[in-house]
Amino acid sequence: MMLSPDIRSNVEYFDTNAPSLGEERAPGFRELELVQRFSDRRAPPFGTAGARAEVGPGTSRLNRLTVGNIVQGVSAVATRDPSDQNPIAVVGYDARTHSPAFAELTQSVFCGNIINVKAFDRYAPTPLVAFSLLYHGAKVGVVITASHNPASDHGIKVFWENGAQINSPLDEQIAASINSLGSATDIIRMDRAEAQRRGLLEFIGGKERSAYLQGVAELMPGGDYCRSLDVRPTLIYSAMNGVAGSLMYDALRL
């Protein structure tokens, strides 16, 4: 099999730029696997809701380089309105192996683009992050998660200022921004200490969780109604691969 010029270019791009973000160069993959791992220019396909792919080396996989590219693309679109002087991003993540590292990188890129970051101090379910976006009047929300998909996968879900997942044409604009990046130097980052010193990074969680549960309580029938039932309802709940278990437990105790 002959590798196409595009595949060769993508491999060269990854091997040149990945080390600057702490990723190793692509090992000696066979040609078919090179095609599978390097069929995309700068990151896995970005569409409605965000991107999902297997974790590992390659421009078609999720790793520190491609996550950085995605968040830089989101940042460029989120900051294009000059009237929005102080955009806010809410960042959450799930309990998968690479989630904390990808979340920290996401925070770093947003802060590097002078976007105020409200970052969850521990894993948070996706609906809580979307709620917190509205709670803080944020421009964008990002959740590092692959939902119910296999453990080998990871993903980035993106929400916009209306609290909903992005759709067309916003996803196309972000995808174009990602693919326009030339090298890793285009990924603007700021380390955590500097971001906190400049007031760009704040860790959140408790207040947002309480506000979310209060909103749930306002939608539920009152305790008197529940106690008046002749039959006690039985509920079976599974968080599957998610992290909403403790939040669900607190909601059921309201």
Q: What does DSSP say about strands 153-160 and 50-54: parallel, antiparallel, or unpaired? A: antiparallel
Q: Specify the pLDDT at position 231.
A: 75
What's residue 199's pLDDT?
98
Classify residue 26: in a domain, yes or no: no
If one counts the domains in the chain, the total is 2
pLDDT per residue as tens digits for the range 162-189: 999 999 999 999 999 999 999 999 999 9
pLDDT band at residue 28, thresholds of 50, 70 and 90?
A: confident
Q: Are residues 148 and 52 in the same domain?
A: yes
More reliable by pLDDT, 226 or 71:
71
- Domain residues for the domain of 233 are 212-252
Q: Residue 128: pLDDT band by 50, 70, 90 thresholds?
A: very high
- Report helix, strand or coil for 207: helix
**Domain match, 223 and 148 both:** no
Residues 85 and 138 in one domain: yes
What is the average per-residue pLDDT within 191-210? 98
This prediction has a pTM of 0.93
Q: Are residues 61 and 101 in the same domain?
A: yes
Scored b (16 or more CB within 10 A) or e, 19-32 reads eebebeebeeeeee
One domain, residues 154 and 47: yes
Q: Is 83 among the domain residues? A: yes
The answer to whether position 107 is within a domain reads yes
Domain assignment of residue 101, yes or no: yes
Q: Averaged over 13-31, what is the pLDDT?
A: 90
Average pLDDT on 234-245 reads 85
Give buried/exposed letters for 196-227 (b at 16+ CB in 10 A, else e): eeeebbeebbeebbeebbeebeeeeeeeeeee
Is residue 223 pLDDT above 70, yes or no? no
Q: Same domain for 181 and 85?
A: yes
Domain assignment present for residue 144? The answer is: yes
Find the CATH number of the domain harbouring 160.
3.40.120.10
pLDDT over 90 percentage in the chain: 76
Q: Which of these three, 170, 188, 204, is where a domain ends?
A: 204
Same domain for 125 and 247, yes or no, is no
Predicted confidence (pLDDT) per residue in 72-116, tens digit: 999 999 999 988 889 999 999 999 999 999 999 999 999 999 999
Residue 203 has pLDDT above 70, yes or no: yes
As a whole number, mean pLDDT of residues 126-144 equals 98
Whether 233 and 193 map to the same domain: the answer is no
Mean pLDDT (whole number) for 133-162: 96
Q: Whole-number mean pLDDT of the chain?
A: 93
The partner residues of 153 in beta bridges, in order of sequence, read: 54
Domain-embedded: residue 33: no
Q: What is the mean pLDDT of residues 50-67?
A: 97
Region 219-235: what's the mean pLDDT? 74
Q: Which of 4-8, 65-69, 250-254 has the lowest mean pLDDT?
A: 250-254
Mean pLDDT, residues 230-244: 82
Q: Are 119 and 202 in contact (CB under 8 A)?
A: yes
Per the domain annotation, does 84 fall within a domain?
Answer: yes
Asked, for residue 69, whether it belongs to a domain, the answer is yes
122: tokens are: 């521990």
Give the domain-ending residue among 204, 224, 241: 204
Q: Check if 147 is active-site.
A: yes
Same domain, 92 and 218: no
Q: Which of 20, 39, 147, 177 is catalytic?
A: 147
